[in-house]
Amino acid sequence: MDLNFVVHQTFFGAIAAAGFGVLFNTGFRQLGWCAASGAVALAVRTVCQSLGWSLVAASFAAAVMVATAAHVRWSRTNTSQDVLGVVGCIPLVPGALASKALLALFALTRTPTVTDPQILFDSVQSSIRVIFTILAIGTGMVIPVVAARWRAA
């Protein structure tokens, strides 16, 4: 595991989450927590991937960690757990993979017949990976909330 790469991912996850915190109009006091949630998300995902986990599994673990931390933070203060969870998980969305899937789908629509089956394979594979990763992030964000409500009932 390359520690410099983990620190790099953590730093830029914090910047991205803080930027989305600004876009979501959070208060100035919450921007630090937004940055922390993004940093935790990308740190957990990077460490999990360096241990050999898939992108989907690592994103799921990171989303569970961020949602759990947001719930614990919310229970101690009035910081919105929804905002912290969503802002922290936005850097987990695989943008490069999604753009690759879209470009491959555009290549498919360029010609009336597909002459190269590799284009079809690449577009389907990238699309499925993006869909499953986003589903894993969403599921990971919901599990701590549902567990907390179930425990309280």
Q: What is the pLDDT of residue 114?
A: 64
Q: What is the pLDDT of residue 79?
A: 64
Q: What is the pLDDT of residue 49?
A: 96
pLDDT confidence of 76, banded at 50, 70, 90? Answer: low
> Angle 150-134-128 (CA atoms, 0-180°, nearest 5)?
130
For residue range 1-44, what is the model confidence (pLDDT) as tens digits? Answer: 788 999 999 999 999 999 999 998 888 888 998 999 999 999 99
Q: Which residues of 47-57 are buried (b: 16+ CB within 10 A; e: fewer)?
A: bbbeeeeebbb
The whole-angstrom separation of Cα 80 and Cα 88 is 12
Q: What is the pLDDT of residue 28?
A: 87
Of residues 148 and 62, more confidence is placed in 62
Q: What is the pLDDT of residue 84?
A: 85
- DSSP conformation letters of 24-73: TT--HHHHHHHHHHHHHHHHHHHHHHHTT--HHHHHHHHHHHHHHHHHHH
The whole-angstrom separation of Cα 98 and Cα 53 is 20
pTM above 0.85, yes or no: yes
Nearest CA to 93 among 51, 124, 63? 63
Q: Identify the H or E element spanning 4.
A: helix 3-23
pLDDT confidence of 93, banded at 50, 70, 90? Answer: very high
For residue range 100-139, what is the model confidence (pLDDT) as tens digits? Answer: 888 888 877 777 666 777 878 888 899 999 999 999 999 9
Q: Measured in whole angstroms, how far is the alpha carbon of residue 153 from the centre of its chain?
A: 29
pLDDT confidence of 150, banded at 50, 70, 90? Answer: confident
